[in-house]
Structure 1
Amino acid sequence: MATQQPIIKLHDGNLMPQLGLGVWKASNEEATAAVAKALETGYRHIDTAMIYKNEEGVGKGIEAAALPREDLFITTKLWNDDQQHAQQALEQSLSRLKLDYVDLYLIHWPVPQQGHYVDAWKQLLSLKEQGLAKSVGVCNFQISHLQRLLDETGTAPVINQIELHPLLQQRQLHAWNATHHIITESWSPLAQGGDGVFDHPTIVKLAEKYEKSPAQIVIRWHLDSGLIVIPKSVTPKRIVENFDVFDFRLEREELSELAKLDAGQRLGPHPDPDAQP
């Protein structure tokens, strides 16, 4: 199964598995078990963050799997309070993960009211030069934030990880990212349990057609839309099920049908407090 998973090439030349495991809200113990199960299943991409308080658990799960480091793609994130000392924050994350480097380090939120995100981005570029992070990117950045990074540093993030699911498709931001060679990665890709998604007639019909679960249909929609996707689960059966999505593809007309589910429905906070509709 591992050999079938699609790989995305980032604009810095590094390669990233398109499907990964998210561990938001997992305890250290849950994260250890989930990561070990995911790596056993064939996942090679794990997404955590300092603020999840489970980097130690993720590190133990990685250690238990005993896979070659170069086969893994590990992401963690710089928390808002640490934007002025990214080096120290990453070194602490690496210590908890028991790793020498991460494959991707992301600024977790722009928090524009703090005014530090451009400086934080410059620090991340330095961490990449030092080899502590192979690639660097951002989460939850709006077009104005991304444009400022480009204007002031000339270097675009490889990734912008944003809330994205059938009810919040963020097509304008996704298109802007693509124009600037920034890959869009989806967090809360299943709309946090699929309320209003898994029971939607369009998704139910596709699940019946392809003999897949609604979650598998939604994950396939992300993949077929060119998005990197990190469904979170600590349930072994779900972890396996979420990875069993490489034996079918949705048709163009079906993707068009799913586009109609977009309701602009945010589950998380708006990244720019002053720009909320």
Structure 2
Amino acid sequence: MSGPAPAGVPGRRLLGSETVLVLALSLGASAVSAVISFVGSVTRPGGLADQAATLNASHAPGRPWLDLAWQVFGIATALVPVLLVGHLLQREGAGGLRAVGFDRLRPASDLGRGAAVAAVVGGAGLAFYLASRAAGVNLTVVPEALPHVWWKVPVLIASAVQNAVLEEVVVVGYLLRRLGQLGWTPAAALAASAVLRGSYHLYQGIGGMVGNMAMGVLFVLLYRRWGRVGPLVAAHALIDTVAFVGYALLVGKVGWLPHP
């Protein structure tokens, strides 16, 4: 039987409702959207590999300045849940996002560890995606479909960083902390984090879900070892940057890269 919550920490009921609300405003909602999208894909005529999932699309074709405004708006608003998490942790007295290791205390270490993780996960992830698509259990993932304008690469990099910060802070740092405070076992919390990460990638197909669940397990284990989401944010940002910008540079020029 657990004792009273430490000073500044809400009771378990409030912590539970807070966690549900944070997820409902962020990646939990994305998971529901991904499930609906996947149902639409599997019930559509034709195989999954013949369909495409576009990650970074134009919001105003033919109007580059308006498109840029929408891109910046989308990236900025997607980070609001991270600011909310920081506020909640600060109010708890945990020091804000420093409580989960998202700070500038160890930039060289975070980047070095992140680069090493990205090198391993990125290569394995690409191989798994190609195999999943060939097996017919994954859509063709189109990392970007932006117009050829001057802001294309900066927006793709910003999008990669936004994805990394949102996912690692919320799905690893915040969620594991809250589930631990709610009395979940480490194994159950790991499973919940990994399943959530896989579920909001289901719009890509079964391969996208399984691959990201595996990545989720690894990232939780690394977070518990290092006590920081900083290296995970760096790794995720590097993986997505290479995927987004690499696709933009290579699509149509190499035979092994699938495209619609």
More strand by share: 1
TM-score of the alignment, normalized to the shorter chain, above 0.5? no
TM-score bucket of the superposed structures, by smaller chain = under 0.3
Higher helix share: 2
Which TM-score applies when normalising by structure 2? 0.25
Which has the bigger relative contact order, CA under 8 A and spacing at least 6? 2
